[in-house]
Every structure is written in structure tokens, then in C-alpha cells.
């Protein structure tokens, strides 16, 4: 899927199966690896990012059986059972893998080097390295505060109380994982609420946490016990099909058993503010995670000022939201989202460039964007290897007046390896 060509028009209909949640899949593999006993993960996403996590733990001495992709089996080695790898660990494009592994390896008393591809190699790592050093980790990074990260065996870590300066579930999770190896209490607080998949999964693995608002703490020395996990469908991947159904004519899709964690469902709230016809039904809980069936129908979207309190719970879905804004009546404004410049690409600049190529009026700010909805032409888009940018512009063709061609779309395989087949079967005119 390096290059995609999507013909204009069409509609989306039917039941659309979405692969497992990437964030939860990462964590299920990681926690299972350092647990005692066997962990079975059903619905694990087998995209390139999660495969990088699996290969990383294999290099650390963990047996992971992926012969049956419907049920990944992890033979945990316990907190102290990891061994030093024989070579550098390449994590590809996965920031989650790097930041969470940095926390685990800081306490595991082994030596390892973490590196990634060109995109991951420019993403900020100081946000996890500096607090790990406060805990006693012997961890180094480049002069630009980026990877590679080099972790050396260190004396015992100590728990800290730490206010994360940027709302980040990856940083919070990495520090909690380091806290499992530390003496005393590790207490992490945030200025807002980030996704809580780590807290939910750690609890399922038997770790006791103290959660008080935006603060979470744990006592060091606790062990994890292997268990069975069912991963819900990924709401971030589902967002593109919500977008496609909302902007195209005569569309109605059902997205079954999508993760509906309140720390992740901001995209649904924003789409509803934009007047999207979205129905959420059959809400229940699976492996500690809220899930629901989501139905989306053709909608007449309106521009909105996006509330800043919804940004953390929709941070990964803004490429889809920006395309919705381009199809809406009026102006959509987002401010307070500078973190979008530090994703797999600078998503404010890359999305703005692509929208302008399709004839959409856009104004950018350091921390956001203003999009004036209207007609979209066809055109050539450079996704810069960013999976979410590529999938968002693929759906834009449903509303565009001409063909949308997308280059450098290979990143889709990191989170949604079956996107082409699923989108085509739903009605997208993609090749």
C-alpha cells in the first residue's frame, strides 16, 4: 500500500470489521511478557507496530506463539526474567513500544539499545528519559532528545512523584512500568486525563493501583499474573469508517464491538457536535474495557469550535476529524493541540498541505488549525508515511469531485494491515 488511488464518489454500507486496538495490543503483549505464567491475547492487532513489540520481547528471551493469529500466547518470564538482547532492538515506527519499553528495561537490570525508523527517530524522548533518570535509570538518548535510547543496568530504581508536563498515556505508562521495579511508591499525575488502558490491564494482571482523579500510584515490587485478554476493535481505526459513512451519500455502516473507553471516544463526541448521525448501542465490558456497537449514517455536517477538553480523548483521530471539517458547512477551529506536531508526522502541517491540494481553505497555528468546509477537488496527497493521514485522505475521495491519489501510504500497515480489503468491501473505490 505504498501508493493508493481512490476514485471519487461512492458510499459505505454494511457491517465493517475493525482489527484489534493497537494501544491495548501493545500493552497486552508487554504485560504478558513480564507476568508469571501464560497469557492468551485474542483479537491482538497483527500490524507492524505490534509485531515490533512482539519481536522486541522475543529478543529479550520471551516465548511468544503467533501461529494462531486469533490467539497469541505469551509465556511470561516474570519481572526479573528478561535477558539482554544480542543486538539493538528495532521498534520501527512505534512510539508506544519505545516509551513503554524504556520504563521496563530501566528496571530489568539488563543492557539494551532501542532504535526505530526515520519517523520514530525524530519523535521526542526526553519526556520519558528525564523522569526515568530521576528514578535512577541509567538511560541515554541523542543530543536532540530523540532515539536511539541506550539503557544500561542500574542500581535499584526508586519511586517518585511526578507531574507529566504533556498529557501522555505513553509517558504515564512507561513510568508506572518502571515503578513496578522500584522501591517505594511511584505516583504519576497529569494536568488532564489521558487514556487509561495501562491502568485497566495492570489491574487485570493483578497489580494494585491507587487512582484518584488524574493521579495514579502503585507500590513497587508487585508481580503480574498471566491471564486471558480479549482486545476490542480499535476506535482509532473505526474513526475512518465513521468519517466515510458520515460524508458520503446513502451510507449506513455498523462497526461491532469497538472499544468505547471514555478516555478514547472523543472522536464520537466531536463528530456528534458536528451533527453526525451516530448511534451507540449494546454497550458492555470485555476484559475490563468498555465496548459498543457503533452505527453511522449519511450526515449533514456543520463546522464547530472543538472543545479543548476533548483533545486528549481524540488526539489520534484528528486526521479523520480534519477531513470531516473540510466536508462540513462552515468553519471548524482547533486550538491547544500542539502535540499533533509530534506524531508519526507533523499532522497539522501534513494535513493542511493535503487539504490545500484538494482546494480546501486552511489556516494553521502553532497549536492548531482552521478549516473552512466546502467543495473538495481531486489531487495528489503525500502521506509522509503516516498511516492515519493516508487513511483519512482515502476516505476524502468519497466527497471529492475527482480522484485522490496518495503516495507514501505504506504506514497503513502499522495499524490497519487489512485496510485496503475492508475499505473496498465496504464500498470505497480504492486501488
Catalytic positions are 316
Separation of alpha carbons 164 and 181, rounded Å: 20
Environment class of 366 (CB within 10 Å of its CB; exposed 0-12, middle 13-18, buried 19+): exposed
- Alpha carbon 290 to its chain centroid, in Å, reads 17
**Contacting residues for 34 by C-beta, under 8 A, at least 6 apart:** 76, 77, 78, 79, 81, 82, 104, 180, 224
User: 118-124: which pairs have CB atoms within 8 A and are 24 or more residues apart?
Assistant: 119/93, 119/344, 119/345, 119/385, 119/386, 119/411, 120/91, 120/92, 120/93, 120/94, 120/95, 120/147, 121/146, 121/147, 121/148, 122/146, 123/95, 123/147, 123/342, 123/343, 124/342
**DSSP label of 97:** H
Amino acid at each position: 500500500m505504498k501508493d493508493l488511488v481512490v476514485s471519487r464518489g461512492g458510499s459505505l454500507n454494511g457491517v465493517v470489521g475493525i482489527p484489534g486496538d493497537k494501544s491495548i495490543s501493545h500493552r497486552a503483549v508487554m504485560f504478558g511478557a513480564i507476568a508469571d505464567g501464560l497469557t492468551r491475547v485474542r483479537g491482538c492487532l497483527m500490524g507492524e507496530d505490534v509485531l515490533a513489540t512482539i519481536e522486541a520481547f522475543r529478543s529479550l528471551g520471551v516465548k511468544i506463539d503467533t501461529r494462531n493469529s486469533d490467539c497469541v500466547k505469551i509465556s511470561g518470564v516474570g519481572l526479573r526474567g528478561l535477558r539482554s538482547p544480542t543486538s539493538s532492538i528495532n521498534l520501527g515506527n512505534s512510539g508506544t513500544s519505545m516509551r513503554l519499553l524504556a520504563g521496563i528495561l530501566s528496571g530489568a537490570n539488563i543492557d539494551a539499545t532501542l532504535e526505530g525508523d526515520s519517523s520514530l527517530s525524530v519523535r521526542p524522548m526526553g519526556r520519558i528519559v528525564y523522569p526515568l533518570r530521576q528514578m535512577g535509570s541509567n538511560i541515554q538518548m541523542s543530543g536532540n532528545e530523540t532515539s536511539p535510547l541506550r539503557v544500561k543496568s542500574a542500581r535499584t530504581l526508586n519511586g517518585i512523584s511526578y507531574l507529566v508536563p504533556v498529557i501522555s498515556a505513553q509517558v504515564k505508562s512507561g513510568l508506572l512500568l518502571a515503578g513496578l521495579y522500584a522501591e517505594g511508591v511511584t505516583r504519576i499525575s497529569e494536568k488532564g486525563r489521558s487514556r487509561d488502558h495501562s491502568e485497566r490491564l495492570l489491574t487485570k494482571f493483578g497489580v494494585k493501583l491507587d487512582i484518584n482523579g488524574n493521579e495514579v500510584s502503585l507500590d513497587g515490587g508487585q508481580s503480574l499474573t498471566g491471564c486471558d485478554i480479549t482486545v476490542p476493535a480499535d476506535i482509532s481505526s473505526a474513526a475512518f469508517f465513521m468519517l466515510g459513512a458520515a460524508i458520503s451519500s446513502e451510507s449506513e455502516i455498523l462497526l461491532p464491538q469497538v472499544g468505547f473507553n471514555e478516555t478514547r471516544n472523543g472522536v464520537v463526541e466531536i463528530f456528534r457536535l458536528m451533527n453526525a448521525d451516530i448511534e451507540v448501542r449494546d454497550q458492555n465490558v470485555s476484559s475490563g474495557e468498555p465496548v459498543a456497537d457503533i452505527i453511522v449514517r449519511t450526515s449533514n455536517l456543520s463546522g464547530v469550535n472543538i472543545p479543548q477538553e476533548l483533545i486528549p480523548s481524540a488526539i489520534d483521530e484528528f486526521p479523520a476529524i480534519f477531513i470531516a471539517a473540510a466536508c462540513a458547512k462552515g468553519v471548524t477551529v482547533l486550538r491547544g493541540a500542539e502535540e499533533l506536531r509530534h506524531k508519526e508526522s507533523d499532522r497539522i502541517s501534513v494535513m493542511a498541505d493535503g487539504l490545500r491540494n484538494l482546494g480546501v481553505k486552511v489556516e494553521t497555528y502553532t497549536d492548531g488549525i482552521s478549516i473552512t468546509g466546502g467543495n473538495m477537488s481531486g489531487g495528489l496527497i503525500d502521506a509522509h508515511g503516516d498511516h492515519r493521514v493516508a487513511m483519512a485522505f482515502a476516505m476524502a475521495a468519497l466527497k471529492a469531485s475527482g480522484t485522490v491519489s496518495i503516495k507514501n501510504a505504506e504506514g497503513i500497515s502499522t495499524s490497519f494491515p487489512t485496510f485496503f480489503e475492508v475499505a473496498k468491501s465496504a464500498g470505497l473505490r480504492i486501488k
